[in-house]
Amino acid sequence: MDDALYGKRDKAGHWKPFAALTYPDVFVWPANAMAVLKWIPGYLLPWNTLYAAVAIAFWLFLSPSLETTKTFAWSWVLFILARNAVLVLLFFGAFHVRLYVQKAQGTNFKFNAKWPERNNSAFLFGHQKLENLFWTFCSGVPVWTAYEALSLWLFANGYIPMITWAANPIWFVTLMLLIPLWREVHFYLVHRMIHWPPLYRWVHKLHHKNINPGPFSGLSMHPVEHLLYFSAVVLHWIVPSHPVHTLYNLVHLGMAPAGGHTGYERVVIGQATAFDSHCYAHYLHHKYFECNYSDGSLPLDRWFGSFHDGTDEAQERMNERFLKRHTNVSSTRH
């Protein structure tokens, strides 16, 4: 599969698709029923269905009972920690091994033709991949596990409202369908907040060292950012939910960054089969910093004026916003 049929590479070696980024015509007025019907399959498949399936399997087969989680104990908390770590290792590792170890498709569809940094003192251990692994497993997975363990303890002791499938089947399904959209809203708000200059310097700058991201860059964050990022699960401490909703939210938070940081537009399998990683919008955020704070179906960046669709015109608008904002900041200081 030739990437030249779908995009072009500039003199600096950066590849971009021919087609500009767009949002589905779903969250518009007046409503477009046909657009909604066309959007639903892509919203559900494959990723949201996969994350939901993993969460349900975890709840049914790989989670301690609520009776067990009434009391904190290292045994069940460490079990959840190990389970989450294995999931990340296998899922993120599958992308990493194929694209960056085997280099199965070389730089075909790779946005940045360069490979991850080595011998660069900006990274822990002088190595981009090792730093990404360190923050993923030494901060990301533990923070995820802490939120999960606390949520299960709250459910088990009746401190937060809990529903059941038998009593609330319609709300049960509705909430499952809404969780990815809630994730987009929460991520956008948190992401804009940590781009506030003081928080950016102290916290978010660590993640943005990955200008040329790979799969494990997705969860390579400062511990404070992990606390904010995984706090999307606090929704279930307020809104009546079931533990499986909590697991789905956390699994979604934990797994989705892998695909969003592959560094490739498409992952090619065989001669003619590929699946889109849909990470170009977020790659542009890593490249330019000042755009595309959220990814997904909700046009939050378009509504708030931070959308970059990959075109030269969008680049000019972003540069104008950047210049205007920093000119205003400079004049205020004087």
Which neighbouring-strand residues pair with 267?
Answer: 275
Residue 94's Cβ-side half-sphere holds a number of Cα atoms within 13 Å equal to 10
Q: What domain range includes position 39?
A: 3-333
**Taking Cα atoms as reference points, which of 19, 31, 55, 26 lies closest to residue 43?**
26
Q: pLDDT tens, position by position, for the chain (334 residues)? A: 899 999 999 998 999 999 999 999 999 999 999 999 999 999 999 999 999 999 999 999 999 999 999 999 999 999 999 999 999 999 999 999 999 999 999 999 999 999 999 999 999 999 999 999 999 999 999 999 999 999 999 999 999 999 999 999 999 999 999 999 999 999 999 999 999 999 999 999 999 999 999 999 999 999 999 999 999 999 999 999 999 999 999 999 999 999 999 999 999 987 666 778 779 999 999 999 989 999 889 999 999 999 999 998 998 888 888 777 767 655 555 5
What is d(CA 67, CA 294) in angstroms, rounded to the nearest whole number?
38
- Nearest Cα to 127, choosing from 190, 39, 220? 220
Dihedral sign for Cα atoms in the order 181, 184, 187, 189: negative
Q: How many domains does the chain have?
A: 1
Alpha helix (H) ranges present in 210-279? 223-229, 243-260
From the number of C-beta atoms within 10 Å of its C-beta (0-12, 13-18, 19+), residue 229 rates as buried
**Cα 278–Cα 283–Cα 286 angle in degrees, nearest 5:** 150
